[in-house]
Structure 1
Amino acid sequence: MQKEWRYFLLALGFFTRIPVPDFANFQESDLNHSTKYFPLIGIIVGFLSAAFFYAASFVFPHVIAVLISMAATIYLTGAFHEDGLADSADGIGGGWEREQILTIMQDSRLGTYGAVALFLMLIAKFQTLSHLNPILIPLALIAGHALSRLWGVLLMATLTYTKPAGKAKPLATQLSMQHLAVATAFGLLPLISILGLLIVSNHSQLIIIKFILLALLPSFIIWLWWRAKLMKNLGGYTGDTLGAAQQLTELAFYMGVLAWSMHL
């Protein structure tokens, strides 16, 4: 249990700005053992994002509360995943060969492709969440952050790390089935809880089936598309592309929930 607590705190410190203790005898390989907790970190980030939305909605219109929630999330994570999205867009958008793409992605400067991708992502998230029923927004935030990080873990499980070194290199060893099972449980837990609420609320089976399809299918399709793109352009994944996967699948989930809510 002490080791697992250590691995959880490592994941928390790696992906958020939440203070964690300094660890003696830290090994980069320890981060590999923390992989199974990435969706749990998503639950925590989503819960705090939902809390900011809920608190702000008492003072401001819910569209402003959405903006405050997004800003809080970006601050909490240090724009870690947004940076990955921008770097991935610059590299894949501006490069032709694998080495050229990787070189562009390592450049700290923001290019046109990255700027456009980041702008469109933030606008799309804001618009999608703003059009959701305010009651659904906290649930969508928690589930979206957890599920999108699970998709990142599944990328790591099905692809190989494509760089000799990098910020995701310590995470790049093969994931065990036990780690995958734990990550999947945390990634799907908020969705299962939402389904439980729908069942308790006596919603029809059709509504529940539509939710399962519309909540999961868009993010799964985006994950398949992004995985295929990484295989074609890089032959594997990098830390930046994991961040991009999180952003893309999170947005796809919100859009799926919005589509579901419009057909109730």
Structure 2
Amino acid sequence: MMLTEDLEWFVVLAETQQVTATADLTHLSQPTLSRKLARLERQIGVTLFDRQGRRLELNRYGEILYRHARTALHSLDAAQSEIQSLASPESGTVRLDFLHSFGTWLVPHMLRGYRVEHPGVRFELHQDSAQFLVDRIAAGTSDLAVVSPQPRDPQVAWMQIAQQSLALAVPADHRFAKLHSVELADAADEPFIGMHPNFGMRRILDELCAAAGFTPNFVFESSELATVGGLVSASFGVSVMPVQDPPIWAEGVVYVPIEGAQRKIGLIWSKSRELSDPARTFRDYVERTTWS
């Protein structure tokens, strides 16, 4: 198998057709260059040049190798340039995933601020449920993800960046609507609207209900918090939702605080893979900035 350095000196030799000139250009001694050529011809099994005194001329085998060697070197140069562009902290790419509910406020806030400081950085964005995002990080498909709650997967690192208070979302005419706070156990007999399993808010709701001593009766499961809020406003059921300020969910919903209930938000990345310079720079920016 030819190495890159073999491709380089061979292309120069094919173009100069002189060992002396090639030795000067490649900083190889003439005996070293002659040995390399002999070894290459033995490796391939044919002679590559016709000798015309002190001058070398490519034969048909050498022409084939020269054509492919030039193409290979151009491809390698292009690959190196592409990699350097992706890896540059000022012009590279950050693969950032996030939950659907963070796409309306948190992630846009992050991107606006970061791109003021680093306008040349590109972002490849992807949104999905919490478990799918954790799987993508573990598989190396993405660099970073904004998720909640903290994943249980030991393959990913976690850095908390914000938190939100949680409330029992009820319709405006509900019996809990005028309360200043509520114990979740008091809602045990209510019909619940929740996210699908594998979504972060569903895990939070399930864990809160379990701590309150009951299993919620789900009348509908959704993949969008906005849909959950809309159905609560239609008196289809109640739900546990984060408190947004200003509110971004449906009108006609009252958010009754649940004492001590918080939604912790964090940034995750793979423990086993080194972050690229652009991704590491973005992570550092997120860490030093206040998001809640």
Question: What interval of TM-score do these two structures reach, taking the shorter chain for normalisation?
Answer: under 0.3
Flag the structure with higher strand content: 2
TM-score (norm 1): 0.23
Higher relative contact order (CA 8 A, sep 6+): 1
Flag the structure with higher helix content: 1
Q: Rg larger in 1 or in 2?
A: 2
